Structure 1
């Protein structure tokens, strides 16, 4: 399949009999991008400015969009997402790829890098964390509660804490999509300062991951970070309510030789709030990680 209007090519393969859709655009070293959620449509993560420097491969994670669904809802685990990611990497045929994981996609990226270090040229951990659990979620919920105080002049902000709880309780894909669109401002330092985000918000789609991202035990790879010898960039926004500087700093301190960048005017979506700074950071990192690159 091909989408010539945007210069993006759409492909599908089958992994363990399940359809995996991904999209390719750009030129240069291959960078596979795994979106977050889990369950958020991939389009929000597209970064056209990076496509001028990298061959960007955007996955539609299994269980979302045009990709297939798993027969057993209990199978939506990190190892499953990583298995489908590996299938795409294998199909691309590149010896090594850069891997960009956003939010929950960053959990997948960490798991993949630990399991397949020989296939990763560089790791871009975008607004993510090496650990979840009670402390992680308590911190996020405290930031949600403080959101109206940060935006006292915005009437919409006052309802965000209640709306966030509604999103957590959504029982259908349609309800989840509606709730996610409503709470989207939480994910920005100042959503209302960016009029260009309105179409993205209106078109955002989401599918409920039956496991809601939960694993048999909370995600925690802190003890394994020191074994990551892959060039790594940890990047987040200073105002990210869920995966902010504390968690990116933890990644940076745990992964030898890693870089840390905190963008001062961003929340969870640096690539949309500070696109030039985000693109420059990723481009500089990938260029420095490729021997002989200029």
Structure 2
């Protein structure tokens, strides 16, 4: 994979590459965007999905202490799509593009934060390309996908349904989960993402006035999760994470139905140099539900990235 080049006749000065705002360059014929906010040590943030646009991951409290570089992964925008789209977006491809982006930033090392699917990519990158990482934040991730992960998610969704039986919003959430396996285009992906969102919070309906604006603004692209040859990009990182050399902060919400407590505890046990943050009043969106606790733990991890033991909870 070739090195990225900036638009224009000459490379941008290093300081400009981390200036606030949206940055765009081409790599391997695709457009790569990233969005910079805040100041301080550099933290590169990967959104979930795959295919969810980055805006939901904005972390204003962290931006007060860190230079947050929010990545718009290839495949998300129309001008960043592979010829094989919606297929071909493996963790290896995401990691290779991420390596080029970090190289481009021109800083000695960065912290890497991945949320949901972004946490799977961040774990892969920390295992295979750790050289430029000072630490990694695995935020609502898991060590595996496939049937084992699916069965646990189904169990948690059933528990959510039982807890909210009779709520007028529940049928819509369950219908969205039922439609997830049949997604095949961007419109369907947006509908499913918005439909399931109440289950991604500890108490969405009790705080609907606060959380509904996020639901209204979700943008998403359909990405299949298959390689170009239609092979599933299945994850089993248990052995690899046991040998991880990068300090890690594992963040999990007590009420997360998708990548919940079972997986957060397992990640923390697997990784030799990890801290664990359990957000007691959060689901899958702790940076929105408990922003102070989340930002405080990540900030402290960046300042003191070594040493095992619990973070704030």
TM-score, with normalisation over the residues of structure 1? 0.92
Superposition pairs of residues 108-119 of structure 1, within 5 angstroms = 108-119=121-132
Give the corresponding residue for 2:38.
26
Confirm or deny that 1:245 pairs with 2:258: no
Give the corresponding residue for 2:80.
68
Distance 1:114 1:12 in 2: 27
Instruction: Report how far residue 145 of structure 1 moved.
Output: 2.3
Confirm or deny that 1:234 pairs with 2:247: no
Instruction: Report how far residue 180 of structure 1 moved.
Output: 1.4
Distance 2:105 2:49 in 1: 25
Decide which moves more: 101-110 or 194-203. Answer: 194-203
Give the corresponding residue for 1:78.
91
1:219-244 CA distance string (max 9 Å, x none): 01110112212111000100110111
Distance 2:135 2:79 in 1: 26
Give the corresponding residue for 2:211.
197
Q: Is the 8 A contact 2:47 2:116 kept in 1?
A: yes
Distance 2:48 2:60 in 1: 18
1:16 to 12, 28, 34: 28
Distance 2:146 2:179 in 1: 20
Change in CA separation of 1:226 and 1:67 when aligned onto 2, cut-off 3 Å: farther
Q: Is the 8 A contact 2:48 2:117 kept in 1?
A: yes
Q: Is the 8 A contact 1:265 1:273 kept in 2?
A: yes
1:167-201 CA distance string (max 9 Å, x none): 33122201211221121101111112322221111
Q: Is the 8 A contact 1:98 1:122 kept in 2?
A: yes
Instruction: Report how far residue 161 of structure 1 moved.
Output: 2.1
Confirm or deny that 1:167 pairs with 2:165: no
Distance 2:155 2:266 in 1: 19
Instruction: Report how far residue 14 of structure 1 moved.
Output: 1.3
Give the corresponding residue for 1:89.
102
Give the corresponding residue for 1:179.
192
Could you say what secondary structure the match of 1:107 adopts? helix
Give the corresponding residue for 2:239.
223
Q: Is the 8 A contact 2:45 2:112 kept in 1?
A: yes
Confirm or deny that 1:208 pairs with 2:222: yes
Give the corresponding residue for 1:45.
57
Give the corresponding residue for 1:4.
none
Matched residues, number: 285
Give the corresponding residue for 1:155.
168
Confirm or deny that 1:274 pairs with 2:290: yes
Q: Is the 8 A contact 1:61 1:67 kept in 2?
A: no
Where structure 1 has 5 or more consecutive residues not aligned to the other structure, the ranges are 2-6
Q: Is the 8 A contact 1:144 1:160 kept in 2?
A: no
Give the corresponding residue for 1:105.
118
Q: Is the 8 A contact 1:99 1:123 kept in 2?
A: yes
Give the corresponding residue for 2:277.
261
TM-score, with normalisation over the residues of structure 2? 0.86
Confirm or deny that 1:188 pairs with 2:172: no
Could you say what secondary structure the match of 2:134 adopts? strand
